[in-house]
Structure 1
């Protein structure tokens, strides 16, 4: 009987090798696809420790393959010979199921990294309320989802073949001593060793739990390389950390704790709502108060394509021409309110950071708005507020959220353009949507003052709009771009999307300016996007600098705006838009609330929940990295484990948490 147990253990150990080997292959594939430097030449030590440490770290999960096989197959098979006979089949089914899980997590990582330039992070949670049709469209049309699904067949076939070969290897016979006492002692030793083997493997080749692999113990040579630091962790470890992460810690704090954490940003004491502490008084209008104010919130309108470094692509010529006008102001260093669309738009509308708390999905925020909300404060200045979105208002519960944030009217692209208007899953094509918005604004002469928040959708994967039909020709638009880039259909489409969206937005601005030359235009993007074609030697590097990954665009123009007013301003964020707007158009003595100052006050640093910026450096709280704030053809030096303005960042998140815990503070 014990010989069956002994043979079964050996089969369990053999099979336990499959998972860590698979993950090592996945790690290599991830590096070869996404890391700029594909070979270990000159950095053998880094690669060795990445794979060595990754192997043992991954055993935190993979050791359970051995344990489950031991408990569910070997132990019962020892006492039930008939079950032992089919034990290898059961083991094979089990390892194939686990391999499928690993493969799914790996392919998910590959897709996620392609879109967000990071392994799984908090943005994964925001997919719960995303437009599922849009996600499917992106998966199948941009991420080659059909091929991914078909790839399970050869992958699982290879796993079955490899596992069958391992199980078919001969096992070592168990020695049977003549002495019964010695025999029982040997049996006990093997049983104890079988259990000990699980703990030894799970703790990363040690029996000391405190030496179990974790991020703090990753070899310095690996951690110093940002990409290899991401590659060292298996996907299930990343997901486990993500799902066990204590999100929204502010929601569990007491009021006393919250006030203490918010202290770095509170300008004064408050009695009921912390937003009472952020009351400002306008100094007086700096421009002629316009009848029409347009805030264009453009999908993926990134600063990087506006940088001189990528001028040869000529994708943003429309915006550049508009920005060169005498009464236009633009900032080259501008942080969004969120890293993806939803938290950016929520932050801009509410005047407090969403902090990935999904305030738009919180029913409390369907009933009232923070005192810092943009639209209600503009209403006090006599403006009728309208929200125009290229997609369905049901996206992210905007149909509930936008009216609660004080907008008098809200329009969705499919509603105003017709159900059969050409559209992506995300929304109606920009030029069609904006033409209809313009037509309706021109026809509406009812209000004395109008504020229009216009949110576009087209500059977004899977980039399936027929751009050539709408004027894009690679040879005409970007004649100086490398020939190989122009032949790359996928890259060409993503760049064409940026060009098309920019052209459509500026045509809308020109049309609205013809209607009312005294209009005020504010243009920004919802977030940055990683579409820079770095594989084609436009710059001598294959990685984006941090500012290219983080910064969105910003510009504004009005006939009476004097750029000299803001000549010394070089950095800003979405949160600075509202107070700047009030200081530009509000009469002297007008009270308003904003958690940051306007651009008419000195700004030496900018902080969001995701990043920080000074006039000479930029940092990410997600990766805890810092780089110089500069447009550079070379890859700039990176400082790691840096969290500047940490107390301020935590205070901003705590402020949002307070409002979630105290819905009575919503007006």
Structure 2
């Protein structure tokens, strides 16, 4: 067989592989939409679904092209160069590996979406830092990992057999021409067509970059679920990698020493002339607003979302404990509040370090272990005479939480190995025993600041709810009819109820034991469990912030206030510190009024919420809302993230001198 004949034959085989992979991706997209159709919003139409399928097909041209490129290089070209047919097996091996990967990713994507309401994104990079043993246990118990893997293996085998059959079908011999000119023209046409095809697939169904489709501009639907369906798993992994790299490099932040100096104007009102970025964060307290508490407690409830507090979900009685606390005259409630990020580590790092999430994971970053950040909470409360303790219901090795908190100035760390507990799971003890340990340890000899992190409202959801008194039948009856049969949902709701019960029990018992205490209750994140498959942004992402204790009133924090985890420390400092007390904070105190809170993917103001980057906005009831100051909001968020990024990645020095600058 001539080299040209080999080339034409191999091109046909590559085309078969391409069509097979593309068809598989499209079938998986349809299966994803059908299997999880309950996540479609009520406004989604058949036209929206077909548009999603069409744009998904375009985007998957790029994903199918990935393996075909390898096949073209290592099979087609090498076959022509060495004039051999023995490399045919390479194509089958490459194709089999790729389709097996696609099948496995599809099987994983279903539970991933159910849990996080998104396809694969940059948050998957946190997985390798998590407790792998506990994570595997959760996957086995809650997501039937052995069954999932077995299904993926069987499906992969069947799909690979189908691929083999397709590749074994006959190919068409190239046309023969009597004249040399015709032969040359035909070959030029084939090569030109091949080149155009490569460009067309590379640009996602376009011949120019200006009209290309990629993951960044593929969100053509108003339905979040359909937008995720458009992005196949290969493109989702590429999205995760791209975002992670941009964050790592500080892309779109203009993070250089000169910019950091100018950013101070936005935070402080004047340019920074010092060589230390920490000077950007310095503030001075206006004077104590409440009697100095003997003990301060910051409770972060695992997955303690805000929506159970809303009136429309009152019949479920999931948050009666928190509602009772909020109703007291010595309580203050901030509903316009979002977490620092999507996972517990982001909440911990924000409260402990005072810096916003930029996916640098300070708990693993070298800079965090040199000395406490100036914005860290523990050293600043030590200056006010408090001993600082971190309490965690889980293991001290998780996410280096003990190492990180101690490096950031906490005097003591207590994990589940430090207190007795009869029940729990691989993530830690049941919350009851955590709060019992705190109650039994706190005394009036020394003022303390205590950060408390719970774990029970987390898969594998193993609390004995019957023993704890959870009325499953009453909650089931109060649910909408379409989800009353969802046992997993009821179990999750029961664990939220349990967390609420344990937190409120602790609040009342601590008030009795030490009425001079100040207690702050919030969540580490939301976005795990909702009644609706299409919740509003406010329902899906917000967490509560409640202050309770002596001297607190409903007016302690102005009504028109919004914030996030980075606002907690400065708020407490402004409540108790003497006038002129110098402290360091990225976020402003809520007592002074704060017009903005933000997390890794949403922003919130006192009357609106939206996704990042700042664009369209929703009122808290989910209706569209006009937004006049989007540029200001985006600039403020960018500045705070840039300052956090620099402090974690570059350190506290700016590497410039007054009167001139050098890029750091």
- TM-score w.r.t. structure 2 length? 0.89
- Residue from 544, 547, 557 that aligns with 1:556: 547
Tell me how far apart the structure 2 counterparts of residues 506 and 287 of structure 1 sit (CA, whole Å): 22
Tell me if the contact between 1:332 and 1:553 (Cα under 8 Å) persists in the aligned partners. yes
The answer as to whether partners of 1:612 and 1:644 remain within 8 angstroms in 2 is no
Match of 2:452, SS state, is: strand
Q: Distance in 1 between matches of 2:481 and 2:55?
A: 42
Residue pair 1:267, 1:278 contacting (<8 A) in 2 also:
no
Query: Hey, what does 1:566 align to over in structure 2?
Result: 557
Residues 208 and 277 of structure 1: CA distance in aligned 2, closer, same or farther (over 3 Å): closer
Q: Does 1:105 align with 2:105?
A: yes
Does 327-336 or 48-57 show the bigger shift?
A: 48-57
Show the counterpart of 1:614: 605
Gap change, CA 1:91 and 1:643, over 3 Å in 2? farther
Three-state SS of the structure 2 residue aligned to 1:453 is: strand
**Deviation larger for 387-396 or 62-71:** 62-71
Structure 2 distance, partners of 1:80, 1:354, is 53
Give the Å deviation of 1:609: 5.0
d(CA) in 2 for partners of 1:560, 1:337: 28
Counterpart among 227, 231, 234 of residue 232 in structure 2: 234
| Residue segments in structure 2 that go unaligned for 5+ positions in a row | 655-664
Q: Does the 8 A contact of 1:302 with 1:553 survive in 2?
A: yes
CA distance in 2, matches of 1:40, 1:473: 31
Following TM superposition, by how much is the alpha carbon of 1:121 offset from its aligned partner in structure 2, in angstroms? 2.3
Most deviating of 70-79 and 655-664: 70-79
CA distance in 1, matches of 2:627, 2:58: 24
- For normalisation by structure 1, the TM-score amounts to 0.88
Match of residue 371 from structure 1: 374
Aligned positions of 1:626-641 closer than 5 A: 626-630=616-620, 632=621, 636-637=623-624
Shift in CA distance, 121/180, structure 1 to aligned 2, threshold 3 Å: closer
After superposition, the C-alpha distances for 1:489-537 in whole angstroms (9 at most, x for unaligned) are 2111111110111111111222222221221111111111331222xxx
1:14 counterpart = 2:16 = yes
8 Å CA contact 2:248, 2:360 repeated in 1: yes
What residue number does 1:150 align with? 150
2:422 maps to 1:435: no
1:181-330 paired onto structure 2 within 5 Å: 182-183=182-183, 186-187=186-187, 189-190=189-190, 193-194=193-194, 196-214=196-214, 218=218, 222-245=220-243, 246-250=246-250, 253-270=255-272, 271-330=274-333
CA contact (8 A) 1:609 1:649 kept: no
> What secondary structure, in the 3-state scheme, does the structure 1 residue paired with 2:173 have?
coil
Q: Secondary structure at the match of 2:563?
A: strand
Kindly indicate whether the alpha-carbon contact (under 8 Å) linking 1:250 and 1:653 is maintained by their aligned counterparts in 2: no
Query: In 2, are the aligned partners of 1:347 and 1:354 still within 8 Å (CA)?
Result: yes
Q: Matched residue of 1:600: which SS? A: helix
Of 238-247 and 184-193, deviating more is: 184-193
User: Which residue in the other structure is 1:510 paired with?
Assistant: 508
Does the residue aligned with 1:563 lie in a helix, a strand or coil? Answer: coil
Which residue in the other structure is 2:65 paired with?
63
Alpha-carbon offset, residue 118 of structure 1:
1.9
Within 1, Cα distance between the matches of 2:44 and 2:404? Answer: 54
Aligned to 1:380: 383
| Pair 75,381 (structure 1): closer, same or farther in 2 beyond 3 Å | closer
**In structure 2, C-alpha distance between the alignment counterparts of 1:216 and 1:381, rounded to whole Å:** 48
| Larger displacement relative to structure 2 (150-159 or 381-390) | 150-159
| Comparing 201-210 and 13-22, the one that deviates more | 201-210
SS in 2 for 1:326: coil
Q: Could you tell me which residue of structure 2 aligns to residue 128 of structure 1? A: 128
Residue pair 1:74, 1:84 contacting (<8 A) in 2 also: no
Displacement of 1:389: 0.8
Which of 346, 350, 363 is matched with 1:347 structurally? 350
Structure-2 residue corresponding to 1:538: none
Tell me how far apart the structure 2 counterparts of residues 558 and 474 of structure 1 sit (CA, whole Å).
33
Q: CA deviation at 1:605?
A: 3.2
Change in 2 beyond 3 A, CA 1:500/1:658: same
Q: Is the 8 A contact 2:492 2:529 kept in 1?
A: yes
- Partner of 1:49 in structure 2? 51
Change (3 A) 1:6 1:567: closer
Give 3-state SS (helix, strand or coil) of 2:592's partner: coil
Alignment of 1:469-548 (within 5 A): 469-476=467-474, 480-482=478-480, 485-534=483-532, 542-548=533-539
Give the conservation status (yes or no) of the 8 Å contact 2:288–2:576. Answer: yes
Q: Secondary structure at the match of 2:332?
A: strand
Secondary structure of the residue that 1:154 maps to in structure 2?
Answer: helix
Please give the secondary structure, in 2, of the residue aligned with 1:410.
Answer: strand
SS of the equivalent of 1:17 reads helix
Report the Cα distance in structure 1 between the residues aligned to 2:407 and 2:162, rounded to whole angstroms.
Answer: 58
**How many residues are paired up?**
646
Contact 2:263/2:271, CA 8 A, preserved across alignment = no
